[in-house]
Chains A and B, each alone.
Chain A
């Protein structure tokens, strides 16, 4: 009897806590790596950026594309597992997400030796979760969260050593959660009204529009060395939020009932300013090594400043076949939970990437993957300060193609 009561409490609190879990995902800045070649080098690409992927990493680099016109596209199949340990004293709580999306397409075109433009579509945040559980309640849930960037890019070569670039992104974030729960006690549990028949329905949605300019520069420091600097800032424009919640409980669902409408959904209003530095050593046509450091300066004091580091390398095992490896960090901007805070999650992730490309003429095909993992702490119940261990692991498989003329 007691355990039913506990589980009921847990489930009710879970419902309220789900949104902060989704936001925890959103407040990492490298959840989905972009592009074929770039993503398999852990995104350490801002000082390379000499193909269509450059529009996202550093638009100053696209002027160095070897082709008059080039395209790059990538499809990502991703899985995510988030697990909170021992949340009710007995069981773990696990959230699974799977998604498969064409998450990147870019085209760049050079006009003369000193000017290039491009256009791209980028999906940086993908979360798609379905759950069905039968015990002790019939529970169905569906959550999805996607952020899409779309916009033009420009690059101009100022001198032989220096180029600058701009990408002007419009972004759209779509978030939706639907949750239903039904439990029937057959009149056996009546303590304080809990454990009796229970019905809970909710539907939340968020549509958020905004922009993100990316300003970049690429500097040829020495023969075979390049350095890059980027600044990007994401800002919200208009947003629309809708939400409805219905809860009924009591024997035969008549003891209590409430219906309300959610008018405000938690979201970050002030995104950080991202400052990026990159360096690449082009050792030979067969080998290069690259590194990026990204610093996220928070304008909102409610969030932590973040530093992410990525290092990637590319090696041609044969003239038309290359392999790539990379490591990266994906740290969170959420502050760690404290004894007085409620509903916080804090987890820093570390990841590895790998990839293989096959080239035929000016066409390339890339297959690769990404794995990241981390252990953190979370306050699962938004109304409570109790801290639980929190694990997350993400897999992504990438299929990408590039073309140039």
Chain B
């Protein structure tokens, strides 16, 4: 009799207590949605939305520099680079933010920020192109996307975390907020050193392809080495010797411009 009653309680519990959600929208198939994208596109969309959230957090901390000319110049340089080496599935955005320390940040989805201090520290266009190329490499390599498994939908039953673009559950949203906090912290304390070195190597390659002198970038890094401000490049990035090693690996043989550092044009636009 006791056994029978226990059995009843177990069955009752299973049937009426364990179910967790009222929404049966998970049953909808792709064709039920009007504008649903294919999984790869969904992943990119999730990446962009995630990166946009991160960009908003960065801008909340550091506003844009109120100088349309410098913003336009940096954007033009950035767009010139991604026209050659950018991902075709992204629209890149570049901006100078109001911060005196020397650093640059790239969020997933192609949002790239350079601090006023860093731009001011640059002595020529090639150095700034080197910095932008380094950040573009982070975006292209999807370091944060892969590390935090940012997906449009759970593309595998083995994934524990996914970002649902529409109709996300509260649990999922909380998970996304937690990941945003973690990535924000990572941006300001530094990515994995190996990732930084790979980005340097890519930057040298991009500069070579664009006929800038990669050595200008090396000189710039050397110059930054002595800087000791908070959130500075020297604190969040590997040692210069390691970086030079990887930059040399990335240099490919191309013909350089006469003014391969573009000193003159840089001076024309950058007057911070």
Contacts and interface: CB of A to CB of B under 8 A. Distances in A.
Interface stretch (B46-54, B120-128, B154-162, B190-198): B154-162
B20 A322 contact: no
A285 B19 contact: no
B156 A64 contact: no
Contacts of A286: 29-30, 38-39, 153
A341 interface: no
Contacts of A234: none
A93 interface: no
Interface in A316-348: 316, 318-320, 322
Contacts of B29: 285-286, 314, 316, 322
A200 B169 CA distance: 73
Interface in A217-246: 219-224, 226
Contacts of B18: 161, 221
Contacts of A223: 20-21, 23, 26, 169
Contacts of A160: 19, 21-22
Q: Is the interface of A mostly helix, strand, loop or mixed?
A: strand
Interface string A6-42: 0000000000000000000000000000000000000
A136 interface: no
B168 to A, nearest CB: 11
B157 A319 contact: no
Given A162-B19, A285-B28, A318 B153 contact: no
Contacts of A221: 18-19
A286 B37 CA distance: 10
A318 B41 CA distance: 11
A364 B31 contact: yes
A359 B31 contact: yes
Contacts of A285: 28-30, 32-33, 36, 153
Nearest to A161: B19
A283 B30 CA distance: 12
Interface residues of A, number: 31
B19 A283 contact: no
B221 to A, nearest CB: 43
B172 to A, nearest CB: 9
A314 B20 CA distance: 25
B3 interface: no
Nearest to A162: B15
A282 B27 contact: yes
B253 to A, nearest CB: 43
A270 to B, nearest CB: 29
Given A281-B157, A283-B156, A284-B154, A219 B19 contact: yes
Contact of A320 (B31, B156, B157): B31
B27 A50 contact: yes
A319 B36 contact: yes
Contacts of A301: none
Interface in B27-85: 27-33, 36-39
Which of A48, A223, A281 lies at the interface centre, i.e. has the most chain B CB atoms within 10 A of its CB? A223
A220 B21 contact: yes
B226 interface: no
Contacts of A159: 16, 19
A210 to B, nearest CB: 32
A220 B24 contact: yes
11 contacts: A66-B32, A161-B16, A162-B16, A219-B19, A221-B18, A222-B21, A223-B20, A223-B169, A224-B26, A283-B154, A284-B155
Given A66-B28, A159-B19, A223-B20, 11 more contacts: A161-B16, A161-B21, A162-B19, A282-B26, A283-B153, A285-B36, A285-B153, A286-B29, A286-B30, A286-B38, A322-B29
